[in-house]
Amino acid sequence: MASERRTFAIISHPDAGKTTLTEKLLLTGGAIHLAGEVKARGQARRARSDWMKIEQQRGISVTSSVMTFERGGVTFNLLDTPGHEDFSEDTYRTLTAVDSAIMVIDAAKGIEPQTRKLFEVCRLRSVPIITFVNKVDREGRDPFELLDEVADMLALDVCPMSWPIGMGGQFEGILDYATGGVARPEGGSKEFLGTIDEDPAIPDDFAEQAELAREAYPDFDIEAYRGGDLTPVFFGSALKNFGVVQMIEAIADYAPPPRPQPAGEELIEPGRDEVTGFIFKVQANMDPQHRDRIAFMRLVSGTFKRGMKLTPSGLGKPIAVHSPILFFAQDREIADTAEPGDIIGIPNHGTLRVGDTLSEKNDVRFTGLPNFAPEILRRVALKDPTKTKQLRKALDDLSEEGVIQVFYPEIGAQWIIGVVGQLQLEVLISRLSAEYKVEANLEASPFSTARWVKGEQAALNEFESFNRPNLAKDRDGDMVFLAKSPWDVNYQQEKNPKLSFGTTKER
């Protein structure tokens, strides 16, 4: 049943505790049996949800992957999103494939720039948000202050669903408003081991605080939450297991089942008979033993069965999907059927690209998966010039994944790569060497930003004849204007009113 599906993501600033919460959710859901403490205890137990080399070195999730678990008859699909400040478009696109999100906030820091950026993306698609204030077992800011910050900075109504009894050294547990019980810390490590005090004695000052919070903020309203106007707030500590079960239950009870997806003018409902879906991410080399490439598809409607023929919009001819993959962290299982809201992996050799719509009849096109104008442009210089062919293949693969964008200048031989964040450059160099055995350096390029140029052919030709040194083609062959500064862009826009210089390009 599609209504038993919950597809969600966790968004946060680096180090707010997203990976730990992910682990604990999977552990509670029974998907992994030993949460790999994020603090390193030998290589064997590094966090299971961060899989690429650079992630293991730096302890951050860079590639968004998918983890599936079941609990109480509900199937949860958790999409992991990079929380690092230099995340890529990958993150943005992952958020187009979910129906709701959990926002993790560090109790000591409140809302940080990254959380805010990701939140804006959720707002664009009115994705409902559940807030988790993490690390309340450490010294943190006043809970009222945190709630007000969420309300003010994100313009959301907040509704506390639980309340911390003290923080840091004074921490005595978490009061659950729904049941009136308090989850208590136990043992030397002060973690939650399942003891709930049904008739708790709460020190007066904390009892007053909790009562005041309940009175001061609006009651929970499921319609307001699903419309993206209100966020329920839970307090807890992922590391010490406080609030983890409440998060899973909240997603099961309140989060929306699979939502309809926009395709131009119409909305495709999950109840439609035809199987439709879209590719929101392509990942190369998930399994170092096989040079494979997996396209992640969000199923929007219909019941998918293994071996079905689906037509990708980019290709026009049907492909048979023989070995679709379901994801349980590192262990992949072959899927026989999938329902709307599920994410399946389709192994392929470069036929599927991000933004492709797959359908049985090939008359649906899902919209809203853009490319973004890169903010950092670099030239690629090979250490060994004989490897030009391998470099081209690697850059094509990686640009297809959305890690980088590649531009081929009209004049000059050196390719230019564009990224949205600095970390993608490190990912690029590290993957070129680890996966493609290509050693390359990145050199400064004279350009600072890129714009997609569109307009009538005559105007384009004239523009091209004057600006050839600053023009390139992207991998679809579309014209790109490489600008040395924002001033350049404005100048060209004024000079060429018939042309548009776009910062995004719909796929």
Parallel, antiparallel or unpaired: strands 100-106 and 5-12: parallel
Residue 15 CB burial class (10 angstroms; 0-12, 13-18, ≥19): middle
Burial pattern 17-43, b for ≥16 Cβ within 10 A else e, equals bbbbbbbbbbbbbebbeebbebeeeee
Q: Residue 323 and residue 106: Cα distance in Å, rounded?
A: 41
Residue 137, annotated ligand binder? Answer: yes
Residue 84, annotated ligand binder? Answer: yes
Q: Which two tokens stand for residue 397?
A: 């693969």
Question: How long, in residues, is the chain?
Answer: 507
Residue 17, annotated ligand binder? Answer: yes
**Amino acid sitting at position 382:** L
Residue 12, annotated ligand binder? Answer: yes
The dihedral over CA atoms of 316, 318, 323, 329, expressed in degrees to the nearest 10, equals 30
Residue 169, annotated ligand binder? Answer: no
Q: Are 360 and 491 in contact (CB under 8 A)?
A: no
* Coil/strand/helix, residue 113: helix
Q: Where are the alpha helices (DSSP H) in 255-370?
A: none
Q: Residue 107 and residue 272: Cα distance in Å, rounded?
A: 43
Q: Residue 33 and residue 23: Cα distance in Å, rounded?
A: 10
Residue 83, annotated ligand binder? Answer: yes
The dihedral over CA atoms of 64, 45, 247, 300, expressed in degrees to the nearest 10, equals 30
Residue 80, annotated ligand binder? Answer: yes
Q: How many Cβ atoms from other residues are within 10 Å of residue 299's Cβ? A: 27
Q: Which of 354, 384, 355 is nearest to 368 (CA)?
A: 355
Residue 16, annotated ligand binder? Answer: yes
Residue 341, annotated ligand binder? Answer: no
Q: Are 270 and 278 in contact (CB under 8 A)?
A: no
Residue 260, annotated ligand binder? Answer: no
**Amino acid sitting at position 210:** A
Q: Residue 239 and residue 20: Cα distance in Å, rounded?
A: 6
Residue 271 CB burial class (10 angstroms; 0-12, 13-18, ≥19): exposed
Q: Are 303 and 360 in contact (CB under 8 A)?
A: no
Residue 19, annotated ligand binder? Answer: yes
**Amino acid sitting at position 137:** D
Residue 33, annotated ligand binder? Answer: no
Q: Taking the alpha carbons of 276, 9, 401, 415 in that order, is the dihedral positive or negative?
A: positive
Q: Residue 442 and residue 493: Cα distance in Å, rounded?
A: 30
Which run of H or E residues covers position 379? strand 376-382
- From the annotation, which residues make up the binding site? 12-19, 80-84, 134-137
- From the annotation, which residues make up the binding site for GTP? 12-19, 80-84, 134-137
